[in-house]
Chains A and B, each alone.
Chain A
Amino acid sequence: MPEIAVPTMARSRRANIFARMFRALKLPTNDPFAVAGLLIYLVFIITAIFADSIATHDPNEILYTPAYDLAADLRPGQEGFVMGTTSLGRDVFSQLVYGSRSALLIGITAAFMVALIGSVIGLVAGYFGRWVDTVLMRLADIAFGIPFLPFVIVLAAFLKPSIWNVVIAMALVLWRDTARVIRSQVLTLRSRGYVEAARVAGSSHFKIILRHIAPNILPLSFLYGSIAIGWAILTEASISFLGFGDPDSISWGYMLQDAFASQALAKQAYYWFVPPGVCIILVVSAGFFITRGYENLLFPKLGR
């Protein structure tokens, strides 16, 4: 039997589509850690948008002191550089601020791709079953057999250095986790009363998937998406650190590689290589905290 009450359907149809989507995401706003995670995201998004006004210098510019010396390896606060400078005289704080841009850009696009591809494959495999399911799930098995980081390294080495390599590699490989989970969820949804009812009433497959099944798996896609944001940022950092990153874009991974290659460790330049790592941890763990809030919401049995 249909479970959704008719009046709410009618009202929500009139409501703003964004408000509807926002509600469908079921953001876990009653879990303190999830709220903290959302706030961290908010701070980094604002930083990324207003990077031009927040940064004190051009992150790529080689800077000089008033005495016309190269502003290299300055400690925080020296000559007015908030977080010091790199060995080539670039401002650490400004690089950190601009780094939030590439991190969020990569994180959000990769997460969107992973969640979208994974959800569509999971939906199609779970809904149609039979050989479609077999083929798609064998593809997932193959994707599970590919070591992810080595795959990204080889891909990044063959393609032109670009921040999009990480996104492409994630879209090619990491959809597997999302697809498997969504598929098993669809399998249980498919036999629910209201789906049966819609099928008997003559709804097309497309309409059943889009209207009756997809809204129910949206929170799960979002959950896997928020995990993927973290994965993307960590992967980009690793790739940049290994020297396969885009040399023209400032990212936290690039900063760490620059610091490592410039002997920042031996110089005890903690002000240089600690902040990018802390930023990565903040953004990635924000994703984890939101995820946990979701899990408590979706699977209350597992909760504390």
Chain B
Amino acid sequence: MSNFKAVGSRLLQLALVLWAVVTILFLMFRLMPGNPMAAYIDPTFTVEQQQQLMAQFGLDKPLWQQYLIYLGNLLQGELGQSFRYREPVGDRIWLLLPNTLILTFSSLIVAYVFGILAGAYLAWRRGSWVEQTAIPLVLTTRAMPEFWLGMVLLAIFSFSLGWFPAGGTRNPGAEYSGFLDLYTSRDFLAHLALPAATLAIYSQGLPLLLMRSNMLDVMKEDFVTMARIKGLSNWTVVVRHAARNALLPVMTSFAIAVGYQLQGNVVVESVFSWPGLGRELVNAVASSDYPLAQGAFLMIALVVIFMNLLADMLYAFLDPRISHA
């Protein structure tokens, strides 16, 4: 019973956050200085044509009516027309979302596999010189600006050694028959390598440090001592008993990492000219394409909010000691 109530209040909270973020977004984009249509309206348009356009976008109505129309449109999944591409924002976002998701997940999976293994190893080798040098090194990777790391990798592996292409998702002129054909082609994977490596190097610190500190905690627990007393080998104790239990919180952090990564993508996609959501957001803001900027922002916010929710739920589900309140 209390569980139902807890889930209900969590969903209510979710609705509140969604509404608030959507409203903040509306206010940010409507209260800005200047005419939002300035980039769209040609100076040669007559006054009537301008007013007709304003009416078409609903910009001639009072603010509260615009707000209601905006909410209504959002509920129907309607994000408006891009000024620059003259096509629905939704289409544009669906076109770019796969690129962003592939970049995010490929880099995060690499980061988590490496981080979990290295974190467990460092916990096992606690106090050794390996650990003493590795931890500050890992902290340093967390202190790097991601785009700078991308620039250095680009300068070395693309411009100097010529091993990888410098940007984009495929070679100019390359044609692919379909979705799967493109995303599994050597061409695409070569383009993916550097941006994914950049994000992976930055992201591995979180799972690594989490895994290490969880391992250290778990190793002190009674059941690990018990396993040792039973005379089980060091390997069995560390891997079968300690690592399995230390792994759970690290896995829930994956959901939060997806949300953070999506924000980090904004800069890395720009360095590598990766046609994803983040780069589109930057370009849309820079060229005053407000509907598109708003749509891209909303999409990123939605992923962040749902990943936060997922992390909370997973955490409560995996560790029953945590109450929902």
Taking CB as reference atom, which chain B residue is nearest A253? B145
User: How many Å lie between the Cα of A234 and that of B20 in the bound state?
Assistant: 27
Q: Is A284's CB within 8 Å of the partner chain B?
A: yes
Main secondary structure of the interface of A (DSSP, over half): helix
Chain A: how many interface residues by the 8 Å CB criterion?
A: 48
Whether B151 and A304, one on each chain, are in contact in the complex, defined by CB atoms closer than 8 angstroms, is: no
Q: Which of B24, B145, B270 interacts with A146 by CB under 8 Å?
A: B24
B275-299 Cβ-contact flags toward A at 8 Å (1 or 0): 0001001100110000001001100
Whether B159 and A145, one on each chain, are in contact in the complex, defined by CB atoms closer than 8 angstroms, is: no
Within 8 A of A (CB), among B114-145: 126-127, 136, 139-140, 142-145
A270-304 Cβ-contact flags toward B at 8 Å (1 or 0): 10011011001100110111001000000000101
Within 8 A of A (CB), among B149-186: 149, 151-152, 154-155, 158-160
Which residues of chain A have C-beta atoms less than 8 A from B154's C-beta? 265
Interface centre among A144, A155, A243, A281 (most CB of B within 10 A): A281
Q: Which of B20, B271, B285 interacts with A157 by CB under 8 Å?
A: B285
User: How many Å lie between the Cα of A268 and that of B300 in the bound state?
Assistant: 35
Q: Is B267's CB within 8 Å of the partner chain A?
A: yes
Taking CB as reference atom, which chain B residue is nearest A139? B20
Chain B: how many interface residues by the 8 Å CB criterion?
A: 53
Whether A268 and B140, one on each chain, are in contact in the complex, defined by CB atoms closer than 8 angstroms, is: no
Q: Is B98's CB within 8 Å of the partner chain A?
A: no
Q: Which of B126, B155, B285 interacts with A268 by CB under 8 Å?
A: B155
Which residues of chain B have C-beta atoms less than 8 A from A155's C-beta? 28
Whether B140 and A281, one on each chain, are in contact in the complex, defined by CB atoms closer than 8 angstroms, is: yes
Whether A138 and B266, one on each chain, are in contact in the complex, defined by CB atoms closer than 8 angstroms, is: no
Measured CB to CB, the residues of B under 8 A from A are 13, 16-18, 20-21, 24, 28-29, 32-33, 126-127, 136, 139-140, 142-149, 151-152, 154-155, 158-160, 213, 259, 262-264, 266-267, 270-271, 278, 281-282, 285-286, 293, 296-297, 300-301, 304-305, 308
Whether B140 and A141, one on each chain, are in contact in the complex, defined by CB atoms closer than 8 angstroms, is: no
Main secondary structure of the interface of B (DSSP, over half): helix
Whether A142 and B21, one on each chain, are in contact in the complex, defined by CB atoms closer than 8 angstroms, is: yes
A142-B17, A154-B297, A277-B152 known; A147 vs B262 contact (CB < 8 Å):
yes
A134-160 Cβ-contact flags toward B at 8 Å (1 or 0): 000010011011111111011101100
Whether B143 and A145, one on each chain, are in contact in the complex, defined by CB atoms closer than 8 angstroms, is: no
Whether A288 and B142, one on each chain, are in contact in the complex, defined by CB atoms closer than 8 angstroms, is: yes
Q: Which 4 A-B pairs have the closest CB atoms?
A: A284-B143, A285-B143, A277-B148, A145-B17
A147-B301, A153-B285, A268-B155 known; A273 vs B28 contact (CB < 8 Å):
no
Tell me, rounded to whole Å, the shortest Cβ–Cβ distance linking A167 to chain B: 18
